[in-house]
Each structure stands twice: as C-alpha cells, then as structure tokens.
Amino acid sequence: MDEEKGERQVAVPAPSTARRAVGGVGAVVFLAVAVTLQMAPDLLEGLDRAVVWGVGVLGAIATTAATLIVERRLSAGPGGRALPSSAGRPPAELPPYSRRFTGREEIMAELRARFRRFPRSGVRRLLARPAGRQERAARRAPLVIVVTGAPGTGKTQLVTQIAHEVADRFPDGDRWVELFGDRAHDAQGELEPEEPQPSQWPAMASPRAVLARAGLLRRGTASPGDGAPTALRPAPRRPERVLVALLESFGRTPRTDAPLRELKTAWRALTNTRRLLIVLDNAKDAAQVEPLLPNGGRCAVLVTSRRSFADAAFECERYELDGLDDGEGVALLNKLAPMPPGADEEERRVRARIVARCHGLPLGIRLCGGVLSRPGVSAQELLADLDDVSRTPLLHASGGFAEVIALSLQQCRPRERLLLRRVADTGLHEFADWSAAALLETTKEEARGLIDELHARSLVAFLGRDELGVRRYRLHDLVRDALRVIEPRSVTVSPGELASWSRQATEEAMGRLLTCYTWLAEQAARAIGRTDDFSTPPVAAPLPPVALRLSPPGRPGAWLTHEIQALRTCLRLAEEYRRWEDGWRLARAIAAMCQNRRVYWRDWEEATRAQLRMAYELGDRQASGMALLDRAEFTVNQGDYERGAEYAQTAQTIFEQLGEPDPRWLARSWRALGVNLHRRGDLDDGLRELSNAEKAFAAAGERWWRARTLCNLADLHSHQRRHRRAQALLRMACTLFRAEEDWEQYNKARLMLAEVLAARGRHLNAWYMLTEARRRFEAAGEQWYVARCLRAMGELETGALRAQYDACDLALNPARRAEFDRRVQARVEKENLRFGPQPQTEREVLWERFSDELRRPARRWLGEYWAVREFEFTGKRSGRPPGWRFWRAERSVEEEWSQRNRLAMLERAIEILERIGDVWGVCRTKMSLGRVLMSDRDPAQAIRLMSEAAEGFAGLGDRWWHARAHRVTARALYDAGHHQEALEPARLAYEAYHHLANHTGQIRAQTLLGTILLANGDLLQAATHLRGAVGKARANGEDWREMEAHRLLQRLFGDEQDEAAWSSPAPGAR
C-alpha cells in the first residue's frame, strides 16, 4: 500500500518553472493593484467622494484575497507543500493575555496608534500605507513608552495587553524583563515592587508573614528590634545582570564580569538591525532603564514604573494611570464575579459602592472580585467588610495593599518611612510641607525634599499650590489605611529607627502639629473678627517651633476653607492624645471663625462641644464658663433657645462664683441670656438682660461689645414693631463700629438697619443699602450674609419700590420737570378755587410750598442715599441725557424688582444656606418665599413651603418661630383672599403663642384669629377672640394693639356699641 501511495504521489505532474514564475508575477501584480486601489482616498482627493470610497472598498476586498493567496504560495515549500508551523518561530516571553481586561480605551487607542509605525510580519507589511517624512525620521530611534502610576493601578496588565496586540509586528520576538528582584542589604538599592500578579499571591496572615513567605526575611532570624542581622531585601536589578541575561537569550556569551559600557555596546550592536519588542517591568527609575534600550529604530520598549520619568535623559512617551471610572470598575467586577440571576437594582448600587471603596483601582477590584466569587458571599457582606479596616480584603487578603505598601516601605529611607507613618497616624486628608516638618521636627526645606522623593515613588500625591501659595499633598486613602495596619517590625526597621516609631515619639510629634495648628487658628480668628480678650486666658498660648518660620495667615477666610478638615482632625487628635490645653484653644478659635463667617455649621457645633469637654477635663471654671458662652452662641443660631438660655445661666453662675468676677464676662453672660430669652419669646425678660449687658459694656468702655448688644436690642424692638427705636439703636451701633474700624461688623449692622427701614415702609432706601451690603459681602466671600441680603431684598414689595422710585424721579429728574410743574400748578389752581384768586406773591409762596411737598418724599425714600440723586436720576454718571437714565431705571425696575427676580433671589438664598448647613436660615427663607408665591397667585406651593418652615422650626425646638411661621402663613392667606384656608394656621399660631411668655405675640395671634373668623362669618367666635385681644393689650399697655382690636369690634357691632360689651374679658380668656 505504501508503494502504491508513493507511486501515486510521483505520478502527479509537477508544475513547470515557467508556470510558477508567471503565477508568482501575476500574484504580485494583482497585489500591487489591490494596494493602489486601497489607497484611493489619499491619491484621488479631487474626485467625487462616493467614487473614491467605492474604489477604496474594492481595493480592500482585493487586498484581502491577494494576501491569502500570496501568503499561501510564499509559505509553501518545494513541490507546493507547506512548511512545518514551528519552523523559525521567535521566542515569546509575554505573560498570558487577559480576557477580563476592562477599560483604558483612550490610552489603548493611543498606544495602538503609536505602534502603527511598525509593519506587520509577512505580506501584511506590504499593506501598510507609505510613511511620511516625519514618520520615517521617527523610525530611526526605538519607540519607548513608559506607563507610570500608583500601586494597584494596573500598569503591568495594561502593558501586557498592548504587547500581545502588537507582538506580530516584531518578527524577531519579544523579551519580558523583570527589573526588580535582586537581593541586597538595607543599604543597597531601593524598592520599587509592582503589585503582585494573582498567580503570585501567597496566603497572607500578617504583613510580616507575607514578607517571610515571599522570602524577604531570613528564616529563623529575630526581629530587628532584637538586634538581629538585617534581612536581605529585594532590590532593583543591576543593569549589568539584565544585559548579560538578554545577550545570553540571543546566543551570545558575554563575560560575567564585563563592565556596563562593554555590555551596553554589545547589546546595541545586536539590536541595531532586529525587530524586537522589549517589556521592562517594575523599573526603579530612568537611570536603570537607559542602558537597556536597544539601538534599532525597528524596536519598541514598554516600561512600567511608579516614578514619573520626568528626568529621563532619553526620549520617551509617558502615560500615567489612575483608577478606573465607575462604569469601567463595575464592568470589571462583573467579569470577575458575574451578577447573580435575577439581581435587582439594589445589587447594582451595592456593587457600584464596592468599586467606589476600591477607588477604581484594578488591584482592589480584582481582590473584591475574588472574594465576591466565593460561594455564599454577598455584595452587601463584602461592602460591610470594606468599611471595617480590621477586616477589609483590600488590606488583609493575600496580595492586598498591605503587602504592596509593606514592601515599598522596606526600601524607603528611614525618614521617609517615618514621615509616611506619622502622616497616616494623624488621619489628615491633606497636609502641607510645614505640617510634615512639624511631625518630623525639622525644617520645611528638608521635609519638602522627603515629600518630593515619596511623590516620585507614587506614595504621595502632589495637589499643587493653593491660593495662599502653600504646597499641598495627599496620601491615598488605601495607602493611609495600609500604613496604619503595618507594624514597624514587619518592615524590618533598624533598632535605632524603631525608637522613633514608639508611642512617646508619636505623641510628641502630634503635640508639635497641634501647637502649630492652634497658633495659626488663633491668628486667623483674630484677623477674621474681634474676640473677647478681656483678661488673660486660663490656658497659656502655644508657640510653634521657631525652625518652621510660620507666619499668620494672610487671608484667614481662604485659610479656613483650605484647613477646615485638618482643624477637624486636630480636634480629634487633641482628645485622643489628651492635649486638653491645645484642644481647648483650638476649639475656641474654630468656633470664633465659624461664628464670624457663618460657615461650616456642623464644625462650629462640634467645636463648641469639644471646647466644653476639654474645659471640664482641664478643671478650670473660667474656661468652662467661656465654653458655655460659646455653646450658647451656637444654640441660639440653631433655634434651641431653651438649652441656650440654660448654658448662659450656668455661665453666669460660674462667673459670679469666681473670686473676683470680671464685670465684662458677666455682661457677656447677660447678653447671651437675653438673646436666647428674646428668641424664646420672653421679650420682657430678654429686654431686661440685654439692657443690663449694654449698660455694663458702656461702663467698662467696651465699645465693640456694646455695639453688638445694641444690635441685639434693636432686633428685639423690631420684633415688637418698635421700628423707630430699633433704627436709632442700629445707627448708634454703626457709629461705634465705625469708631472701632470694624467694617465687617459695620456692614452687618447696616444689613439689619436696611431690614428695619423696609419694615418702616422705606423700601427704596432699604434696597440701596442692601445692594451695597450684598456687594461688599460677596467681595469678602461671606456667603451667609449674602444669603441674608438676598432674602431681605426678595421680601421688598415690587409695587412699593416702583412707587417710591417714581416719586424720587419725578422730584429730581430734569427730564420730568414739565410733569412736575403741571402737578404743582394743579395744586395751586385747586387752592385758588377754594379761597379765591391769590396775589402773585401768595401764588409764589404756594408754588414753593407745593414743590417742597412733592420733593419731601424723595428725601424720605432715599434717606442717606440722597447724595446719589445727581447720579441716579439726572444721568450725569453716564453723560447721557436724563431721559436715558430714566429709561434705564424703568428697565431696572422691571428686571430687578420684578416678581420673577424676587423669587430667584429667595431661591438662591435657600441654595446658599443649604450648602453651608444653616437649617434655621433655610426655614426662615422658605417663609419669605412662601409669602412672595402667595402674592404671585400660587397658594398651593406657598402653603407647602410655609408649612415646611413651621415644621422645620418645630424640629429645631424654636417654639417662637414655629408660632410665628403659622401666624405669617395665616396672614398671607388672609391677605390673598383665602379666608377658609387661613383659619387652620391661625388657630395653630394662637395655641402656640399661648405657650410662650410673649404677650405681644399672643395679642397679634388672637387679633388675627378674630379677623379671620369674622371674614368666615363666625361672628360669635370672632367677638370672643377680639374681646380677649383688647383685654390683653390694655393689661400690658399695648395701646396700638388695643386700638386695632377695637376697630375690628366696631366693624362687628357698629360704632354705637357699648364699650363695656367689647372691653369685658372674653369667656375663658387666658
């Protein structure tokens, strides 16, 4: 049978040489035509686009067919038989390709574009488009791509993926070189380990066990603290050893003791004409990579490293990796641990939170995917483990970040290790160079050098300079958590270094940091606003180390914004390390800054709580009294007046019991008590306490504190509708603040004055004042006061603003002089009709009199802004005719005073207050917004907002504003004609006020309820409540309130009704 088969094979006629030649030439010609057709879009740009692309598609089809034919012929051996597939195959050393690789689409696309300069192997190289001049010049040097990033970002996996995709462009093979792995003592080399591959992860019980299993510690040796020999550490591979291994892989036999220059020359000569792909993994730095670069322009090098390679002497393209985005991270997790059948939306949300806990790092996601793929492990359970530092697989699983960071710490210099550990112990999210210097008790210059080195290792992120010019840095959250769980013995530190990791050394470092932050916070607090420095504080002021050369913050508001998280952390450190003195002063400074700027309300609250706790720990009564006053200041701003009054009364008792009480501290306690009593609704008691405080401050010569107390008194009188008295008190306060040159408090007093002017009906004056104050607060960045200005401006009535502006414009605008004269003439003629013709002199007197009467309201509506009349109403500011200015004013009225703009102002105020955490302010502004919506014919939305405000005040414990919110809601509904809807909030207001010691509020609520009952036709109930209001008003000397209720009774019973009928107390009146 074999003979017959052989005979049959011999009998097949072989093709002639001529036929083979013709076939080969024909195939080549066909291939050339196909390639030409494929390049039609570049060669035939002038022709019709459809024709060009049609020819290109035809060329692509022909090229594919030609490639298959020609490759088959060229790969055939003698007699047309194919060569064995293993013949001449170059070595391939790449790790396995991963089908689970996810994301990095943009970087992968850029890398693919960079490798297009290398033609594919075989006939495919003929299909590449001709290279341009610049591309041909670039091919003279090897392509070097460096992929950098922090541990766990997936640098090695990315390089592996792209290497597999482009391997066919390098027919001479690829080489994978691990640049980390030599053994060296502590003094030699530096560690730059990449995250371990999953196949290399050992079982992990502790960081020290990981190091031992990885062969990084000598077996049977003691810990470094016991004086044992130093462990052999993994170190970067020396370039000489790497070159020897590379040359041997190509059959060369270099001398093992050959110098680096000789080995580098041999390597470059070998690679000059080859087409190689070389991957250098875990490079220490550019100096380690430079001798390993090939010489041939047809070679490519892929490098992974944690350093940036910014100092590389050779040309390279750098790509820095970060975490995956949310979508890519969830996709990778689902590949590693597929979603269970029937998974709901909650499962997807939990998985997204798992990815967020991993910060998008592929290493962390792979660790979580491995845990989640185990039977019986749910995503919710894994999420709970991630939130617990003692159980999170990100740190404690084999191959986790604790192992990676422990290996990195081994080769850091001792001071670098110590800095990382101390920053991690503080818990600071961000830190500056000076804070690092304080932790190490060194200079800022040395600390900056250490931080720069850690940044080069991708262990510290440089955030840039803030607006104050301070360098800011950050530890990655996973790095910080890993540093907390790693013990110093696990990284084999030397015995001398171990002492600096002790508890005592750490406490001293934290003390230096707290001292610096306390000093800076107190300097910033003094710059932001006045503090009560009546006497020597009970706790001595700390002084920062001289070597740090710290200076007070130049822009304290911006400094507070940047450092608020650090200040919050320092309060925790003060309690953890029992630094009560520093903590008390720091908490007091934080509370003062937050109070003056009305920002960070939660931090303000926590600072007052911490100050009180630390005062008790100190056992100092004066410190306790001062802390109680600060606590009372916060609670009154949050509506908890009961507790605020309790804090103030306790502080007053403490100050009275001191050996020689300072009257100024007693005055402060009276002031705090008066404000809380006023806000609680006890207006009479509040007035008494505030008046006592004002007199005490005046007697002590404390003008600043007297001015603040005058503002509190004005607020109380304003709520009692004594607006004229409130206006006088606020003008006095402005005078005192101006004398003290405290322009910030001056502007705040002016804001209150504008609100009082609006309550007196002088809307235009209030508008100008609020506009000026708002502009100043916006320039200073004081958003709480900006919101308050917006709220007050939104409360001004559009109709009143237009009427007052028109009256001023009529009196002052020359363009309207004819209209002004006509109105004066009309009044003169009316006077003549009443008393007969008047002589000329009398007519002139009448003319002056009526002219003055028309101009007099303008002075009232403008107030102190009377001086701007020449610019506002005459057009002199712009140089345009007066009429143009009036036209602009009319447009301004329509735009700025319109209902729509008022609503926008109030909505923006709510947005600002919500952002800074002022819940009370949000409720207060919702009341104003509801009133404007009520006038805008949207009662449903208005009732909803005002009900939310009332419930919000109740939730805060503010009973007075809870009652007031119901009363304002009822009044707004009544004024809008919704009498039936107004009845329920009126009843609620009546009940709420009768639980307060606020007789004015009781009278107003009962009068309003009687008015609404009268409008609804319930005459008997209306008469009962109106009689009760008259009796309370008469008993408390509220004449104006008595007259108001009297007029309503006259409407009910008529003008002739007996006084005894309406003045007798109502049945059951309280």
List residues bridging with 302 in a β-sheet.
145, 279
**From 220-234, 498-512, 595-609, 814-828, the region with the lowest mean pLDDT:** 220-234
Average pLDDT of 1021-1037? Answer: 85
CATH number of 702-775: 1.25.40.10
Residue 836's pLDDT band, with cuts at 50, 70 and 90, is low
Q: Which has the higher per-residue pLDDT, 854 or 279?
A: 279
Residue 775 has pLDDT above 60, yes or no: yes
Confidence of residue 222 (pLDDT cuts 50, 70, 90): very low
868 has pLDDT over 80: no
Q: Which of 16-30, 241-255, 308-322, 912-926 has the lowest mean pLDDT?
A: 16-30
Task: Tell whether the model's pLDDT for residue 617 goes beyond 80.
Answer: yes
Q: How far apart are CA 641 and CA 682, in angstroms?
A: 10
Q: What's the average model confidence in pLDDT over 129-146?
A: 64
pLDDT given at position 2: 43
- Pair 954, 966: CB distance under 8 Å: no
Cβ atoms of residues 285 and 309 within 8 Å: yes
pLDDT band at 61 (very low <50, low <70, confident <90, very high): low
Rounded to 5°, angle at Cα 543 from 541 and 548: 155
> What is the model's pLDDT at position 56?
58
| pLDDT at 1003 > cutoff 80 | yes
- When mean pLDDT is compared across 116-130, 439-453, 711-725, 743-757, the lowest value belongs to 116-130
Which is nearest to 986 in space by CA: 1008, 1014, 964, 1003?
1008
Q: Give the domain ranges of the chain.
A: 18-80, 105-179+237-321, 702-775, 799-896
Mean pLDDT of 650-654: 93
Q: Is the pLDDT of residue 1009 over 70?
A: yes
Q: Which two tokens stand for residue 760?
A: 């007196």
Distance, C-alpha 148 to centroid of its chain: 27
Q: What mean pLDDT comes out for the span 925-948?
A: 86
Tokens of 505: 């050394």
Please, are residues 507 and 577 in contact by the beta-carbon 8 Å criterion? yes
| Model confidence at 1041: pLDDT above 80 | no
For the cut 80, the answer to whether the pLDDT of residue 16 exceeds it is: no
Strand-by-strand arrangement of the 143-149 sheet: 174-178, 277-283, 300-305, 143-149, 317-321
* pLDDT band with cut points at 50, 70 and 90 for residue 3: very low
Q: Residue 596: is its pLDDT beyond 90?
A: no
Q: From residue 773, how far is each of 527, 766, 779 by CA, in Å?
A: 20, 10, 10
> By C-alpha distance, which of 166, 206, 153, 170 is closest to 320?
153
pLDDT, residue 572, reads 94
203 pLDDT band, cuts 50/70/90, is: very low
In this prediction, what percent of the chain has a pLDDT beyond 70? 78
Least confident residue range of 18-32, 269-283, 627-641, 922-936: 18-32
- Domain 105-179+237-321 CATH (choose: 3.40.50.720, 3.40.50.300, 3.40.190.10, 3.30.1380.20): 3.40.50.300
733-761 residues labelled b (16+ CB within 10 A) or e (exposed):
bbebbeeeebebbbbbbbbbbbbbbbbbe
Q: At 730, give phi and psi (nearest 5°).
A: -70, -35
Neighbours of 350 (CB within 10 A): 16
Can you say whether the dihedral through the CA atoms of 577, 579, 582, 588 is positive or negative?
Answer: positive
CA distance 451 to 460: 7
Cα separation, 393 vs 1022, whole angstroms: 72
Buried b (16+ CB within 10 A) or exposed e, 808-845: bbbbbbebbeeebeeebeebbeebeeeeeeeeeeebee
- pLDDT value at residue 199: 36
Q: Which residue has the higher pLDDT, 129 or 709?
A: 709
Confidence (pLDDT) at 513? 94
DSSP states along 917-959: T-HHHHHHHHHHHHHHHHHTT-HHHHHHHHHHHHHHHHHHT-H
